[in-house]
Amino acid sequence: MTRPLHSSETPVVGVVMGSDSDWRVMNAASEVLTEFGIPHEVEVVSAHRTPDKLIRYGREARGRGLRAIIAGAGGAAHLPGMLASVTALPVIGVPVQLATLDGLDSLLSIVQMPAGIPVATVSINGAKNAGLLAARILGSADTALAERVEAYARDLEAQVDEKNRRLKD
């Protein structure tokens, strides 16, 4: 079952992952979305173990009200690309680092898409940035959300200023 994190609101972002073992990384995307007040759902959808579910999820996503999908997977990480093939929604891919190799396998599996089917790929284990990118995408049509994204950037700037002040003390 798809789990709305804010049951009173329709999810607008889908956070999906190839395995529940990816949650240790993908949790960061969910945390950011919660911080920005973006209703989202979390679901395990595997390109290889549940291919029918993947196709269904991708085809139904836009009709259910989702406006972006964040998809994380490791190893032979086909989930983000396959989802992008069956939906017109923006898909943000998160390469998840596994115990073997160093995550480069996941990164290359996600980033090397054929022309025509884009996936916006973030860094290895970059789920936090995936959440922030989803906030920016939604913010392009939501002034209040865009202002929260700007405030977040200002806060980062203030943190760097503060660190500089401490260095000089």
Annotated binding residues for substrate? 19, 22, 49
Tell me 97's DSSP state: P
Q: Mask 9-38, x = binds ligand RP5 (CB under 6 A)? A: --------xxx-xx----------------
127: Cβ contacts below 8 Å, ≥ 6 apart: 25, 26, 27, 28, 29, 70, 72, 94
Contact 108, 76 (CB under 8 A): no
Identity of the residue, 75 or 131, whose beta carbon is nearer to ligand RP5 in the bound complex: 75
95 touches ligand RP5 (CB under 6 A) = no
Identity of the residue, 21 or 123, whose beta carbon is nearer to ligand RP5 in the bound complex: 21
Q: What is the dihedral of CA 73, 47, 4, 94, to 10 degrees?
A: 20
* Angle, vertex CA 79, rays to CA 77 and CA 80, nearest 5: 100
Other CB atoms within 10 Å distance of the CB of residue 168: 6
Q: Mask 56-85, x = binds ligand RP5 (CB under 6 A)? A: -----------------xxx----------
Q: Mask 105-144, x = binds ligand RP5 (CB under 6 A)? A: ----------------------------------------
Q: Where on the chain is the footprint of ligand RP5 (CB under 6 A)?
A: 17-19, 21-22, 46, 73-75, 96, 98
